[in-house]
Structure 1
Amino acid sequence: MNAKVTTTTDNIDDIPGRRTVDVVAFGIVTSAILLFTATGSVIGPDVVRALMGQSPGPDQFILNAFLLNIAIIIFGWSRYRELNAELVERTREEAAARRLAETDPLTGFLNRRSFGMRADVMIAKARESGRAVALMMIDLDNFKQVNDFNGHAAGDQLLRQCAARIREVVPIGSAIARIGGDEFAIAIEYAPAQSGHIDRLAEILLKQLARTMRVGDTTADITGSLGLASTTRNHRAAEPADAQALLEYADVAMYHAKHQGRNSFSWFEPQMAEELHLRTELEDKIRRGIPAGEFVPYYERQMDLGSGRLCGFEMLARWQSPDLGLVSPDIFIPIAEDIGAIAELSEALIRQALQDAKGWPRELTLSVNISPLQLRDPWFAQKLLKLLVESSFPAERLEIEITESCLHQNVGQVRSLLTSLKNQGIKVSLDDFGTGFSSLAQLRSLPFDHMKIDRSFIERIDTDRDAAAIVRGIAMVGEGLHLPITAEGIANVHVLNELRKLGPVKGQGHYFGAPRPASELGEWISAGTALRGESAPVSPVGPDRPLRTLDLETTTSNENRRSGRA
C-alpha cells in the first residue's frame, strides 16, 4: 500500500515563535499613513484655495509635516518589505536547520532523537483513545558485507532502496526513523484487538527487504531481522512503557530474531532481556579471553584410509574459560563472528598451532580452517606468511581450508588470495564440499589441492543410498580434477569400509578418536608412524561424538553451524 508517513518537518509555520511580518515596521508605516491622512485633510482645502487665488496657501509647518509623512511612508514601506523578506528567509533557514537536526539526510526519515519525541506523542494520544502503539526495530542482515565489498557509496544506495521499500508499505500516520547505520525504527498506532495486522505488516516488510536490489553494476541480496514491542504487552515494568523503553524492548527482540536465523521477526518477551544479558557477558568474556590465551587448539587425526597411516592433524578450537569451563564452539564461534573478533581469535589459534606442529614428524601436515571474514582481508596472505616466518614452520606442511560458501561472495578476490598462498607453498583445501553451490568451472579455475566431503553425507553413507551416491559422485569429480579427497565425520567401521571402496581417500572423525590438546598427541603420533605402510585397522573409541570447531560462516543459522568448526 502506498503510505504517507511522518518522516520530516517541512512546514515552517510549525516553528515555535515564528512571526510572518515585522510588526514594528508595519506599525510605523500605518501610523505615517494615518498622519498623512490627517495633515492632508487640513492642508488640502488651503492648497485648493491658494491655487484659485483665494488664499495665501497652507501653513508652512503643516506643509512640511505633510511632505515628511510622504517620505516616511515611502521609506517605511520599503523598509517593511525588506525586513519581511529577510524574516521569511531567516524562517526558511531555521526550518531547514530544524529538518537537518531532526531527520536523517540520507533517507529523509526521522533520526533517533526526533523519533523518540514523535513516538511519545503517538503513545500519549493512543492511550487517550484506547488504542495501542507498536514499535518495530529492523536491522539489515549482511549489510556490512555488501558495504565492505562494494564501498560506502554502494552501501548508501542500498540504504536508500531499503528506505523506499519500507516507506511503500508502512501505514498512514506512522513514524519512521533511521536510528543507526543499517537500523530502522517504525512506530505504528493500531487497535489492540487487531495485533495480527502488525504481524502481517512485519512479514510484508521482510519480504520487501529480501527482494534482490540493484547496487551499481551488481546485485545485492540482503534480509532483515525485525523486533516488535507494544504498549499493550507485558514488559514487567512498573510504569507504562514510553518510546525509549519500547525501543529497548524491540531492540532485544530484534537481536533474538537475528540469533534465531535472521530474516524473521520476534515479539519482545521478558526472558529475552535475560538472554541478551547473558550474551553480553559472553561477548565481554570472549574479548578478554582471546588475549588471555583461553582459546586453545585441539587436534583431530587425519588418516590414510587404505594404509591406516597418520597423515596429519586438523586444528580445532576450544574455549577453556576460567568461569564457564569448556565451552562448546557452537556457542562462542557465532558470537565471535558477530562481534568482529573471529579473525583475532583464529590468528591466535593458528599461531599456537604452528608452534605445536613444529615438534611433529616432518611428514605430518597441519590443517586450519579460514573464516570468510579473513578471506575478505586483502592482507590476509601476508599475515599468514608472517605467522609462518615467526614460527619457522615450513609452508608446505600447512594446509588451509575454506568453506564452499566463500566462493559465492567474491570469486575474484578469493582467487587472488589463494594464488598468493599457493605461491608461498601453502596447500589449499575446499571444505564441506557438497553443501554449497560450487560449479565445476569454479573448481577448475581456483587452485585447490584437496577437496573435503561434508560430514552430512559421510555419516549416512552406509545407510542412505542417496548419500552414498552423492559421495561416489564427489569422489569421481575429485578424481577427474586430480583433487585428492578427504572424508570428515567417520563415526564407525561400516562408514570406513564404504569409503575404502572409493580408492585412495583420507579420512577423519570420531572413529579415530576425539580431538586432543597438543600435550596428549604423543600416543597418536607414535602409533601413526608405527602403522606407516600397513593396513591394520585403527581401534574405535567411545560413543560420544566430539565437538568440532571454527566453521567460520558469517551466517548464524543452525544449519550452517552444525559442525562448529574453526
Structure 2
Amino acid sequence: MHQHDDIEWAESRSGKADHDLVALGIATAAIILFVGTGGTVMPQIVNSWMTHSYSSDILLSNAVLLNIALLIFGWRRYTDLHQEVHERRVAEQRAQALAERDPLTGCLNRRAGLPAIDRMLTRATESENEVAVMVLDLDNFKQINDLNGHKLGDRVLQAVAELLTSILPAGSIAIRMGGDEFACAISYAHHARARIENIADRLIEHIRMPIAHEGFEVEISTSLGIATTDEEDLEDAEMTAEVLIHRADIAMYQAKKRGRNGYFWFEPAMETELRFRNELEGAIRRGIALDEFVPYYEQQIDLRTGELVGFEMLARWNSPEYGLVNPDVFIPVAEENELISELSESLIRKALNDAKDWDPRLTLSVNISPVQMRNPLFAQQLLHLLVETGFPPSRFEIEITETSLHENLASVRTITTSLKNQGIKISLDDFGTGYASLAQLRNLPFDRLKIDRSFVAELTNDEKGAELVEAIVSLGQGLNLPITAEGIETAEALEALKSLGQFKGQGYLYGRPEDASTTKERLARTGLSKSVAGTETTGQAVAPRAADETAPIPPTIKGRLVG
C-alpha cells in the first residue's frame, strides 16, 4: 500500500476501535448497575406485577428496566461492531490477496513477487544459502489462444501454475510475470546446482504432458532460463530480484533460440549478445523504413538438359553499417520481433516487378516464413501483390518449410489450398529435416519437394546420405511430386543426382546468387530477357562452374555477424 492509504486505513481502524470501546463501556456499566440493584428490586417488581398493587419504588423499578434496555442495546451494539470489524478485516485480507495474487493462476503477481524474492535473498545470505531464479515461457502459446480460444489458453496457464506448486520445493516462490511467462525462486545449499537442474528437467517433462479441457487437448512445451547467486564471476554484482529475473530471462531466450523445450543457465556473454541483438533489431527497423533490403536471385536448372528454368529469390540486407548481410543473420531477428511480414512483402513486390522482365517461361520462387503462415490473411495479401504487379500466378511458386506444418497444420492447409486454387505452385522446402508425414504430403496441395542441402552435400561422402536421397526420390515419384535439389556445389554431386532421376537443381556450382541488375544482364546475354527474347527463343544451357570459377562470396556483415 502507499503511505497515504496506510494512514487512512490506520485512522479508520482507530475510529472503529473507539466506537467498539464506547459500546463495550455502555454494556459493562449497564451490567454493573444491574448487578448492584437488580437483586433487591427485581423481586419487588415481580411481586407488583403479580398482585397488581402500586409500589412506592416504581421509579426505581423503571430505572432497573431502563438498565436492562441499556444492557441489551450496549451488548447488541458491541456484537454488531465486532462483526463489522471482522468482516472488514476479511475484506482487507481479500483485497491484499487480490493485490498480490494473479486471479487466474493464484501465483504471486510481479508487483508482489519481486519483493518476495528480495526477502528470500536476504534470508539466504543470512543462512549462507543460494537462490536460483527460473523464468519459464510457454512455446507457441499464442497459437493455442488463436486456434482453440482463450478458455483453453486459460486452462493451460492454470495447469502450469498447478505444476509449479506441486514440483517446487516448500518455501519456493511462484510468480506469473504476465501473459504466458512465469518465474520461480528456489533457495538451495551452496554449489547444489544438480538439484536445480533436476527441478528444471521435471518442469519441462511435466509441462509437455497433454492438457485437456472441454473436449480439446493440446500439448505444449516450455523454454526455461536459470540465473543464480551461486556464480563466482558475479560476486561483485548487486543481487536483487530484478537482476536475477533479467538474467534468467536472457537465458530463457537462449533456450528458445537453441530449439525450445529446454533450459539454459545464464552466462555473462549472453547479456552482451542480447544487447547486440537489440541493436540489430533497431537497425533492421531502420533498414525496412529506408528500403535497404533487396532481392538476390539464385539460378534453378533442369539438371538433365542444363537449361535455366527459373530463379529462387533470396533476401539480402544492403546495410550501410554492416555491409551486405546474409538472411541467416537478420531473418530470425525479424521473425522474433514481428517484422518479417513487412520485410517479406517489400521483397516479394520487388521480385515480382523484376521477374516481369524475364522470359515468360522462367519461374520465380520465394521462401515463406512459418510466422507468415500463421496469418489467416496471408493468402489474400500475396494475391494482392500479384494483382498489383501484374505477375502471372502460374509462374510463381512459394516454398514453405516442414516447421510450418508442425506449428499450424490447419492454417497451412487453408492458405495453401487458397493459393493453389489461384494457380500458384507450392513447394515443401528443406524436406527431410522436419516433421512432415506421408499423410501430410498426400493431403496438402504440394507441387514439389526440395531436398535439403545437407543431404546433397553428403551424397558422395556418406552411403546413408545417398540412401536417404534415393528414398526421397522414390517417395516423390510415388506421389507424383517433382524434386528440386538444393546446395549442388560439386560436379560429383551433380552426376550422382542425375543418376537418380530427373531433377531441378540449384547451388554454387551454377553461380552465386546475383542482384536484380546482374540477373537482368545475364538474361539479356542468354536471350532470356523478355525485352529481347523472341517467341522462338530456346533457353540456353547453363554450364556448371568449377569451384574455383565461382564468383567471390558477397561481403557479409562485419565482426561478429559474418554469415
TM-score in same-fold range (> 0.5): yes
Counterpart in the other structure of 1:184: 182
* SS at 1:521 equivalent: helix
Counterpart in the other structure of 1:365: 363
Output the CA distance in 1 between the equivalents of 2:135 and 2:146. Answer: 23
Equivalent in 537, 543, 548 of residue 543 of structure 2: 537
Counterpart in the other structure of 2:254: 256
Counterpart in the other structure of 1:417: 415
Counterpart in the other structure of 2:337: 339
* SS at 2:305 equivalent: coil
Equivalent in 185, 201, 204 of residue 203 of structure 1: 201
Equivalent in 142, 151, 155 of residue 157 of structure 1: 155
The answer to whether the 8 Å contact 1:131/1:192 transfers is yes
Output the CA distance in 2 between the equivalents of 1:294 and 1:232. Answer: 45
Counterpart in the other structure of 1:13: none
The answer to whether the 8 Å contact 2:45/2:61 transfers is no
Output the CA distance in 1 between the equivalents of 2:311 and 2:298. Answer: 5
Question: One-letter code of the match for 2:258?
Answer: Q
Equivalent in 327, 330, 336 of residue 328 of structure 2: 330
Tell me by how many angstroms 1:413 deviates: 3.0
Question: One-letter code of the match for 2:427?
Answer: S
The answer to whether the 8 Å contact 1:47/1:58 transfers is no
Matching of residue 271 in structure 1 with residue 269 in structure 2: yes
Output the CA distance in 1 between the equivalents of 2:186 and 2:203. Answer: 13
Equivalent in 402, 405, 408 of residue 403 of structure 2: 405
Question: One-letter code of the match for 2:227?
Answer: A
* SS at 2:108 equivalent: coil
The answer to whether the 8 Å contact 2:308/2:539 transfers is no
Whose relative contact order is higher, 1 or 2, with alpha carbons under 8 Å and at least 6 apart? 1
Question: One-letter code of the match for 2:84?
Answer: E
Tell me by how many angstroms 1:235 deviates: 6.7
The answer to whether the 8 Å contact 2:510/2:542 transfers is no
Counterpart in the other structure of 1:350: 348
Q: Deviations over 1:266-286 (max 9, x none)?
A: 333333222221111112222
Fraction of identical pairs, as percent: 50
Question: One-letter code of the match for 1:540?
Answer: A
| Contiguous gaps of at least 5 residues in structure 1 | 1-15, 550-563
Equivalent in 15, 25, 35 of residue 23 of structure 2: 25
Q: Tell me: CA distance 1:348–1:177, structure 2 relative to 1, closer, same or farther (3 Å).
A: same
Count of aligned pairs: 533
Q: Tell me: CA distance 1:193–1:400, structure 2 relative to 1, closer, same or farther (3 Å).
A: closer
Q: Tell me: CA distance 1:255–1:411, structure 2 relative to 1, closer, same or farther (3 Å).
A: closer
Output the CA distance in 1 between the equivalents of 2:200 and 2:43. Answer: 82
Tell me the TM-score normalized by structure 2. Answer: 0.87
Counterpart in the other structure of 1:10: none
Equivalent in 493, 501, 504 of residue 502 of structure 2: 504
Question: One-letter code of the match for 2:264?
Answer: S
Q: Tell me: CA distance 1:412–1:227, structure 2 relative to 1, closer, same or farther (3 Å).
A: closer
Output the CA distance in 1 between the equivalents of 2:48 and 2:139. Answer: 92
Q: Deviations over 1:197-251 (max 9, x none)?
A: 2222222222222333335544433222222223343575766422222222222
Q: Deviations over 1:402-451 (max 9, x none)?
A: 11232334434322222211221211112122223333332222222222
Equivalent in 406, 428, 439 of residue 426 of structure 2: 428
Output the CA distance in 1 between the equivalents of 2:358 and 2:93. Answer: 73
| Contiguous gaps of at least 5 residues in structure 2 | 1-11, 529-536, 557-562
Output the CA distance in 2 between the equivalents of 1:56 and 1:416. Answer: 101
Question: One-letter code of the match for 1:463?
Answer: N
Question: One-letter code of the match for 1:178?
Answer: R
The answer to whether the 8 Å contact 1:302/1:311 transfers is yes
The answer to whether the 8 Å contact 1:309/1:528 transfers is no
The answer to whether the 8 Å contact 1:513/1:541 transfers is no
Output the CA distance in 2 between the equivalents of 1:538 and 1:50. Answer: 131
Tell me by how many angstroms 1:293 deviates: 1.2
Matching of residue 467 in structure 1 with residue 465 in structure 2: yes
Output the CA distance in 2 between the equivalents of 1:379 and 1:180. Answer: 28
Output the CA distance in 1 between the equivalents of 2:290 and 2:111. Answer: 40
The answer to whether the 8 Å contact 1:485/1:506 transfers is yes
Counterpart in the other structure of 1:139: 137
Tell me by how many angstroms 1:115 deviates: 0.9
Output the CA distance in 1 between the equivalents of 2:326 and 2:33. Answer: 93
Output the CA distance in 2 between the equivalents of 1:465 and 1:500. Answer: 17
Counterpart in the other structure of 1:304: 302
Tell me by how many angstroms 1:87 deviates: 2.7
Counterpart in the other structure of 1:243: 241
* SS at 1:319 equivalent: strand
Alignment of 1:78-93 (within 5 A): 78-93=76-91
Output the CA distance in 1 between the equivalents of 2:208 and 2:26. Answer: 64
RMSD of equivalent CA atoms? 3.0
* SS at 1:187 equivalent: strand
Output the CA distance in 1 between the equivalents of 2:99 and 2:404. Answer: 42
* SS at 2:371 equivalent: helix
The answer to whether the 8 Å contact 1:510/1:545 transfers is no
Tell me by how many angstroms 1:38 deviates: 2.3
Q: Greater shift after overlay, 524-533 or 266-275?
A: 524-533
Output the CA distance in 2 between the equivalents of 1:283 and 1:46. Answer: 97
The answer to whether the 8 Å contact 1:515/1:546 transfers is no
Q: Tell me: CA distance 1:538–1:529, structure 2 relative to 1, closer, same or farther (3 Å).
A: farther
Output the CA distance in 2 between the equivalents of 1:426 and 1:52. Answer: 110
* SS at 1:136 equivalent: strand
Q: Deviations over 1:474-530 (max 9, x none)?
A: 223222322221111100111111212233311101111111110111343245547
* SS at 1:293 equivalent: coil
Q: Tell me: CA distance 1:467–1:342, structure 2 relative to 1, closer, same or farther (3 Å).
A: same
The answer to whether the 8 Å contact 1:307/1:532 transfers is no
Output the CA distance in 2 between the equivalents of 1:269 and 1:17. Answer: 50
Q: Deviations over 1:344-390 (max 9, x none)?
A: 22112111111111121211111011122222212111101111111
Matching of residue 320 in structure 1 with residue 318 in structure 2: yes
* SS at 2:131 equivalent: strand
The answer to whether the 8 Å contact 2:42/2:61 transfers is no
Question: One-letter code of the match for 1:396?
Answer: S
